[in-house]
Structure 1
Amino acid sequence: MEDKAFELLTKMYSEMQSGFKEVRQDISDIKQDIVRLENKMDENHKALYDGYKQNSESITEIRADIKELKSKVENQEIQLHVIRGGK
């Protein structure tokens, strides 16, 4: 009877160790997946930031162009006013 109990305990221990090994492997795989996702998210974040930066720079340039055009239009209005004789 003791031999059967010992064999059962040995078998259970062996199965538990095998199960623990599988769990550790699964955890290792999950960690690798998380690292891959973090790297991919970091790349996407950088791309989004670059896009935001480009948009911001473009808006700044457009504002400068609008300011310059506004100044030219105002100057033309003044010249027209002078040409028309102040009317």
Structure 2
Amino acid sequence: MEDKTFELLTKMYSEMQSGLKEVRNEMQNGFKEVRQDIVRLESKMDENHKALYDGYIQNSEAITEIREDIRELKSRVENQEIELRVIRGGK
């Protein structure tokens, strides 16, 4: 009776070890896939960050150009106002 019990326990232990190995392998494969997904996401985020930064720079440059144009137009308007005063006789 003890021999049968021992054999049964040995068989159960062997099957459990085999099952645990399968579970470990599946978990390791899952972790590898998750790591690969994380690397892909980091790469995409890096690309998007660069694109956003480039867009920010372009917007900043455009705003600077517009400000310069406004300053120039303001100066022209002021000069024309002065010329009109001179033409009208200082009024």
Q: TM-score, normalised by structure 2?
A: 0.94
Match of 1:31 in 2: 35
RMSD between aligned alpha carbons? 0.5
Q: Which has the greater radius of gyration?
A: 2
1:42 correspondence with 2:23: no
> Which one of the candidate residues 44, 51, 63 is aligned to 1:59?
63
Deviations along 1:21-56, whole A, 9 cap, x unmatched? Answer: 000100110000000000001000100000010000
Amino acid paired to 1:55: N
- Aligned residues: percent identity? 59
Amino acid paired to 2:32: S
Residue 68 of structure 1 and its aligned partner are, at CA, apart by 0.4
Q: Structure 2 unaligned runs (5+)? A: none
Q: Structure 1 unaligned runs (5+)? A: none
Q: TM-score, normalised by structure 1?
A: 0.98
Deviation >4 Å, runs of 4+: none
Aligned residues: 87
